[in-house]
Amino acid sequence: MKIGTLGAGEIAQAFAIHLLKAGHEVLLSNSRDPGSLKQLVAKLGKGARAVTMSEAAKAPIVVLAVPWPKVAEVLGQLPGWDGRILIDATNHFLLPSHELADLKGRVSSEIVAELAPSAMVVKALNTLYASNLAREPREGKGHRVIFVSGDDADAKGEISVLLKGLGFAVIELGSLSEGGRAQQVGNGLAGVDLVQLGD
Ligand SMILES: NC(=O)c1ccc[n+]([C@@H]2O[C@H](COP(=O)([O-])OP(=O)(O)OC[C@H]3O[C@@H](n4cnc5c(N)ncnc54)[C@H](OP(=O)(O)O)[C@@H]3O)[C@@H](O)[C@H]2O)c1
């Protein structure tokens, strides 16, 4: 599969390692010229490419991995999504303070979904520290858990299949409003690194 990333930092790189190992193509982008990612894509190896944000956003599956204060700016400059899948890996930290942004009771992924109309938003990859996400998904006699939430069953199913194909265990938590809220930083799952036992 072809997967685009908006942001090429810690989270995008940690996920890219697994995607590339499984033979997927990863199109990485950041706020600068693709040339700024030359060394990174060389390090990541076969299947990794540096592209512009708009090219990354054209992939059938796109990972949103930019700091929360940049989310509106990034999504605001992209064309329509036409039903493509947007994995929301963000946490709503303000920078540089790392205080939580005031969402006025709303769910961060619902805000992302509003900013990317016609995207199928799936909340995933946000609960593990990047250093844990980068680790081998198969751990001892089990599989590292990724939580997944979303309003579109097909999109959620597609991401679950992708993640399981990489060796992760998937726990689906429901809609963006329920599961997305549970996954949201501040609600107990942040940083939790679970391994589900079994094949
Ligand atoms: N790190 C973690 O352990 C962790 C865990 C779970 C979730 N998250 C969440 O994942 C998201 C990314 O975190 P990270 O740790 O990967 O961040 P990071 O290492 O600081 O990387 C951020 C990336 O976003 C890009 N970016 C920033 N502003 C941009 C813009 N206006 N347009 C396009 N790209 C832009 C940066 O590109 P430039 O270099 O060009 O600025 C960089 O590639 C955040 O929302 C964070 O809360 C992080």
Beta carbon of 68 within 6 Å of any ligand 1 atom: yes
Average pLDDT over residues 164-173: 98
70 secondary structure, DSSP code: G
Nearest CA to ligand 1 atom 15: 10
Burial 143-174 (b: 16+ CB within 10 A, else e): bbbbbbbbbbeebbebbbebbeebebbbbbbb
Q: How far is the CA of 7 from the centre of ligand 1 (A)?
A: 5
Each residue's pLDDT tens digit, 134-164: 999 999 999 999 999 999 999 999 999 999 9
Question: Looking at the DSSP assignment, which residues form a beta bridge with residue 169?
Answer: 145
Q: Which tokens belong to 117? A: 């109309």
Beta carbon of 10 within 6 Å of any ligand 1 atom: yes
Q: Are 44 and 71 in contact (CB under 8 A)?
A: no
pLDDT: which is higher, 5 or 199:
5
Q: Is the dihedral of CA 12, 17, 20, 24 positive or negative?
A: negative
9, pLDDT greater than 90: yes
Q: How far is the CA of 94 from the centre of ligand 1 (A)?
A: 12
Nearest CA to ligand 1 atom 29: 31
* Confidence tier at 199 by pLDDT (50, 70, 90): confident
Nearest CA to ligand 1 atom 21: 9
Q: Are 135 and 101 in contact (CB under 8 A)?
A: no
Average pLDDT over residues 173-186: 96
Stated pTM of the model: 0.98
How much of the chain exceeds pLDDT 70, in percent? 100
Each residue's pLDDT tens digit, 92-125: 999 999 999 999 999 999 999 999 999 999 999 9
Angle at 108 between CA 107 and CA 113, to 5 degrees: 100
